[in-house]
């Protein structure tokens, strides 16, 4: 483990431009550096690096973050690995924290389990290549399936003869602990027999290429014997975080920016041998979140090959909503009836196969929509359910632009109004966010640990409130402006006052903290408030390094927008400010005061509306006492609101 202080040292030493220049050619434009984005194909550069803020942002594909984020995205590093890489680049020594005895014991156990698995692999391979039975039963089987010896060795294929305890005996003779063999699932539960017998063997590697588990396919024609059996879950084998073939495919997936998913072990091996190397299998059941994250670390593009019947495909599609939440682009390829990837690639050859899956790939959501439209023809009730189902999927997509595109396409397929679909989808998103916020509110302190799978809220496209804008938008607009000021200028001193912008804003809206309309903004405001109360500062770094992805992304967006709107407009080159409008960098003091006023007026207006509602009910019920009370409150709120508005030259909406 890297001590927190070293983490800070590393992050403080990092110059983002120096890190990115290792991968992308950058040139100067204004205060920023620009280059061709390494995450999407482009001919004109939209990839911005901002050395002042130490962040990058691509205005083409939307990727953005700090140097650590860049390395995780580009190199597929884990967070600690990215830090280690940076430490090396900047010559910072990492004295890893001593592990606790429990952690040490855990690591030792894992190490010994890998050693036992490695012994078993060698045993299975020796049985395959060096024994008569192995050659005649298993090796001939693999060769018959078209595998070359090089492939067989590369994937760790082997053979377990049909003997009671051959592996156990050999392991014992070589000094291995039978207890460990049992722990790693190589012997039966009572430890008396080999677990895999009479089977061809497939090694299942972890991401660093160590053997984590095995699968065995029976060589018997007996229908009562399961065709495939797998090692049980162990300390080193967590099924829902493992993808078969991922270790071998990792590099190709990154290079081709696409992951192909198939069903079986032989499909993976066969395609790999044919030169289609970016291929993995989920080993049976539907994709889990852990497996999707594994893919997402290497690419955003997932192509799934199906060889099943329509019913099976429909069931499989249901599991794919998880992939949308991970912001993966999912495409579906249906193979011709009776073919699986293995048989199909052998029959067609790799080139034609590659062409086929490129040509036949269908977007998942549109595929699903077409499939269901076909099915619900002439049944309006079913049709309504179908629309709900599709919108449920679309609502999970975090990227608003992508969502918009899907809604347009689906509106056409469904012969429905795009506007209605939009409204319905937004309802689903809002209610999902509310649910998430409620859940977090019910578990205090757990907010930052919560998974970040829920969709990101829509953010208004333009960050700056034009000064004469009337007060018509929803509250979210003002809320975002408050957050923008906190992120951009939170730690600056408010001109003319002896306090920071963050202190100024948060002290004044303390009582509104729980009434934010947008849950994410509300959560950020509350966390900032807690930090200030705890005596901690609030610089842009706090947000960019925030442990919650939604917060990091929002901060990067805000910071990247801020330099873009000011400088790309040519403000700097022309040497004069935009009309009468000072850039946010100069004007943040006045901006803060104004944003705060607008925010408060919004909240007061809402309060006023609520109160009027109560007034109406009271007067309907001829409850004179309350009628008078609410009248008085009305006047009071209006007075305060109008005062703030007048002081700030803001137009209050008509009653
Ligand atoms: Zn990009």
Quick one: how far is CA 361 from the chain centroid?
A: 23
Using an 8 Å Cβ cutoff, are 485 and 591 in contact? Answer: yes
Q: How far is the CA of 588 from the centre of ligand 1 (A)?
A: 30
CA angle at residue 409 from 403 to 412, to 5 degrees?
A: 140
3-state secondary structure of 116: helix
| Nearest residue to 113 via CA among 193, 175, 187, 182 | 182
Tell me if residue 205 falls in helix, strand or coil. strand
* Structure confidence at residue 312 (pLDDT): 67
Distance between Cα 456 and ligand 1 center (Å): 19
* Contact partners, residue 460, CB within 8 Å, separation at least 6: 473, 476, 477, 480
Mean pLDDT throughout 151-156?
A: 95
- The Cα 2–Cα 81 span in angstroms is 10
Q: How far is the CA of 71 from the centre of ligand 1 (A)?
A: 15
Strands (DSSP E) found in 321-433: 329-334, 362-363
C-alpha angle 574/578/580, rounded to 5°?
135
Distance 290 CA to ligand 1 centre (A): 25
Question: What is the phi-psi region of residue 238: left when phi exceeds 0, alpha when psi lies from -120 to 50, beta otherwise?
Answer: beta
Kindly give the distance from the C-alpha atom of residue 45 to the centroid of ligand 1, in angstroms, as a whole number: 9
Mean pLDDT of the chain: 83
Over the stretch 73-93, which tens digit does the pLDDT of each residue have?
Answer: 888 888 888 999 999 989 888
Alpha-carbon span 120 to 186, nearest angstrom: 8
| Higher pLDDT pick, 599 / 585 | 599
What whole-number distance in Å separates Cα of residue 66 and Cα of residue 52? 12
Distance from Cα 362 to the centre of ligand 1, integer Å = 23
pLDDT at position 184, please?
A: 95
Determine the distance separating the centroid of ligand 1 and the alpha carbon of 39, expressed in angstroms: 5
pLDDT reported for residue 572: 39
**Residue 106 Cα to ligand 1 middle (Å):** 41
Question: Is the per-residue pLDDT at 329 higher than 80?
Answer: yes
Residue 332 in contact with residue 301, Cβ under 8 Å? no
More confident residue, 182 or 618: 182
Closest CA to 314 of 356, 375, 260: 375
- How does residue 400 score in pLDDT terms, banded at 50, 70 and 90? confident
CA distance linking residue 602 with residue 611, whole number of Å: 14
Determine the 3-state secondary structure of 281 from DSSP.
Answer: strand
Q: What is the structure's pLDDT at 216? A: 96
Centre of ligand 1 to C-alpha 48, Å, is 9
Would you state the pLDDT for residue 535? 79
How far does residue 25's CA lie from ligand 1's centre (Å)? Answer: 14
Quote the ligand 1 centre to 35 CA distance (angstroms): 10
Between these two residues, 286 and 492, which has the higher pLDDT value? Answer: 492
**Higher pLDDT among residues 343 and 547, named by residue:** 343
Q: How far apart are CA 35 and CA 27, in angstroms?
A: 6
Q: What is the pTM of this model?
A: 0.59
Q: Are strands 329-334 and 362-363 parallel, antiparallel or unpaired?
A: antiparallel
Q: Which helix (H) or strand (E) holds 157?
A: strand 157-160
pLDDT at 54 > cutoff 60: yes
Q: How many CB atoms lie within 10 A of CB 233?
A: 13
Residues 521-580 have pLDDT tens digits of 888 998 898 888 887 888 888 898 888 888 898 999 888 877 664 443 443 343 333 344
Flag whether pLDDT at 262 surpasses 60: yes
Q: What's the helix, strand, coil split of the chain in %, to 5?
A: 55, 10, 35
Question: Cα of 361 to ligand 1 centre, how many Å?
Answer: 23
Tokens standing for 256?
Answer: 């081709």
- Enclosing H/E stretch for 419: helix 418-442
Q: How many whole angstroms from 551 Cα to the centroid of ligand 1?
A: 20
pLDDT number for residue 315: 66
Residue 138: pLDDT over 90: yes
406 C-beta neighbours (distance < 10 Å), count = 22
Spatial distance between the Cα atoms of 378 and 487, rounded to a whole number of angstroms: 53
Q: Which one has a higher pLDDT value, 580 or 241?
A: 241
Distance 423 CA to ligand 1 centre (A): 29
- For the stretch 360-384, pLDDT in tens is 998 988 888 888 888 888 788 888 8
The closest of 451, 452, 450, 461 to 400, measured between CA atoms, is 461
Report CA(57)–ligand 1 centroid distance (Å).
8
SS3 assignment, position 28: strand
Residue 147's pLDDT is: 95
Kindly report the number of other CB atoms within 10 A of residue 290's CB atom. Answer: 13
- Other C-beta atoms lying within 10 Å of the C-beta of residue 273: 21
Considering only CA atoms, which of 252, 258, 242, 430 is closest in space to residue 328? Answer: 258
The predicted pLDDT at position 447 comes to 35
Residue 178: what pLDDT?
92
Contact 83, 2 (CB under 8 A): yes
Ligand 1 centroid vs 36 CA: distance in angstroms?
A: 8
How close is the Cα of 395 to the center of ligand 1, in Å?
23
Please state, for a pLDDT cut of 70, what percent of the chain lies above it.
Answer: 89
Distance CA 159, CA 196 (A): 9
Q: What domains does the chain contain, in order, with CATH numbers? A: 4-89 (3.90.580.10), 104-237 (3.90.980.10), 241-360 (3.40.1360.10), 370-437 (no CATH), 476-563+580-648 (no CATH)
pLDDT-above-90 percentage for the chain: 31
Q: Kindly write down the DSSP assignment for every residue of 455-471, as one continuous string.
A: PPPP--S--S--TT--S
CA of 59 to the centre of ligand 1 (A): 7
pLDDT at position 576: 38
Q: What pLDDT is recorded for position 271?
A: 95
Q: How many angstroms is it from 38 CA to the middle of ligand 1?
A: 6
Q: Is the pLDDT of residue 353 over 70?
A: yes
Ligand 1 mean position, distance from CA 404 (Å) = 19
CA distance 305 to 263: 8
**pLDDT at position 162 over 80:** yes
CA of 276 to the centre of ligand 1 (A): 25
- What are the residues whose beta carbons fall under 8 Å from the beta carbon of 552, sequence distance 6 or more? 65, 69, 543, 544, 545, 546
Per-residue pLDDT tens over the stretch 415-447: 888 888 888 888 888 888 777 767 766 654 433
DSSP 263: S
Burial of 525 (0-12, 13-18, 19+ CB in 10 A): buried
> What was the pLDDT predicted at 440?
64
CA of 40 to the centre of ligand 1 (A): 5
Q: What is the pLDDT of residues 212-225, one digit of tens each?
A: 999 999 998 888 88
The per-residue pLDDT for range 446-499, each reduced to its tens digit, is 333 333 333 333 333 333 333 333 333 467 778 888 899 999 888 888 877 778
Distance of CA 437 to the CA centre of its chain: 19
Q: What pLDDT, on a 0 to 100 scale, did the predictor assign at position 457?
A: 36
pLDDT computed for residue 456 by the predictor: 33
Q: What pLDDT was estimated at residue 529? A: 87
Distance 327 CA to ligand 1 centre (A): 15
Residue found by looking up tokens 């500062």 in the block: 537
């Amino acid at each position: 483990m890297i001590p927190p202080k070293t983490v800070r040292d590393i992050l403080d030493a990092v110059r983002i431009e120096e890190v990115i220049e290792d991968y992308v050619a950058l040139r100067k434009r204004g205060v920023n550096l620009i280059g061709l984005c390494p995450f999407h194909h482009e001919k004109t550069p939209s990839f911005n690096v901002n050395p002042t803020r130490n962040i990058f942002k691509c205005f083409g594909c939307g990727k953005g973050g700090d140097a650590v984020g860049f390395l995780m995205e580009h190199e597929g590093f884990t967070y600690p690995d990215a830090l280690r890489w940076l430490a090396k680049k900047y010559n910072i020594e990492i004295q890893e924290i001593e592990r606790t005895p429990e952690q040490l014991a855990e690591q030792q156990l894992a190490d010994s389990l890998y050693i036992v698995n490695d012994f078993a692999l060698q045993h299975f391979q020796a049985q395959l290549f060096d024994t008569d039975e192995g050659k005649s039963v298993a090796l001939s089987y693999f060769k018959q399936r078209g595998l070359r010896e090089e492939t067989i060795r590369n994937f760790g294929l082997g053979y377990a003869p049909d003997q009671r305890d051959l592996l156990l005996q050999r392991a014992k003779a070589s000094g291995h602990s039978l207890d460990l063999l049992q722990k790693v699932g190589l012997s039966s539960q009572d430890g008396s027999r080999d677990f895999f017998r009479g089977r061809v063997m497939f090694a299942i590697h972890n991401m660093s290429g160590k053997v984590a588990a095995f699968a065995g396919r029976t060589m018997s024609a007996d229908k009562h014997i399961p065709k495939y059996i797998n090692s049980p879950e162990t300390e080193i084998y967590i099924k829902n975080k493992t993808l078969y073939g991922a270790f071998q495919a990792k590099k190709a997936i990154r290079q081709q920016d696409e992951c192909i998913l198939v069903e079986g072990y032989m499909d993976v091996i066969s395609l790999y041998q044919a030169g289609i190397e970016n291929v993995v299998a989920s080993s049976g059941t539907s994709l889990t979140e852990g497996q999707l994250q594994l893919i997402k670390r290497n690419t955003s593009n997932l192509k799934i090959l199906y060889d099943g019947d329509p019913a099976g495909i429909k069931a499989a599609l249901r599991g794919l909503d998880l992939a949308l939440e991970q912001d993966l682009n999912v495409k579906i390829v249906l193979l011709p009836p009776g073919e699986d990837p293995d048989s199909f690639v052998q029959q067609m050859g790799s080139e034609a196969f590659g062409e086929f899956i490129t040509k036949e790939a269908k977007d998942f959501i549109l595929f699903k929509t077409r499939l269901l439209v076909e099915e619900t023809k002439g049944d309006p009730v079913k049709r309504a359910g179908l629309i709900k189902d599709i919108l449920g999927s679309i609502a999970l997509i975090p990227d608003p632009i992508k969502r918009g595109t899907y809604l347009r396409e689906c509106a056409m397929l469904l012969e429905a109004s795009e506007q209605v679909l939009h409204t319905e989808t937004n309802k689903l998103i809002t209610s999902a966010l509310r649910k998430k916020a409620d859940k977090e509110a019910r578990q205090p302190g757990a907010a930052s640990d919560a998974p970040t799978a829920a969709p990101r809220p829509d953010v208004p496209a333009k960050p700056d409130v034009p000064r004469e804008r009337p007060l018509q938008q929803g509250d979210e607009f003002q809320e975002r402006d408050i957050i923008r000021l906190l992120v951009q200028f939170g730690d600056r001193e408010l001109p003319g006052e002896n306090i920071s912008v963050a202190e100024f804003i948060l002290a004044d809206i303390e009582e509104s903290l729980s009434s934010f309309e947008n849950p994410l903004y509300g959560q950020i405001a509350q966390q900032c408030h807690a930090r200030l109360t705890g005596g901690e500062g609030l610089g842009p770094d706090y947000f960019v390094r925030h442990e919650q992805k939604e917060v990091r992304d929002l901060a990067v967006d805000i910071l990247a927008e801020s330099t873009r709107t000011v400088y790309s407009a040519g403000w700097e080159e022309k040497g004069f400010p935009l009309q009468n409008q000072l850039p946010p960098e100069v004007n943040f003091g006045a901006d803060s005061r104004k944003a705060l006023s607008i925010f408060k007026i919004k909240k007061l207006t809402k309060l006023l509306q609520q109160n009027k509602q109560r007034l109406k009910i009271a007067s309907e019920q001829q409850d004179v006492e309350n009628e008078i009370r609410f009248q008085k409150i009305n006047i009071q709120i209006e007075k305060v609101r109008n005062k703030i508005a007048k002081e700030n030259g803001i137009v209050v909406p008509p009653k």
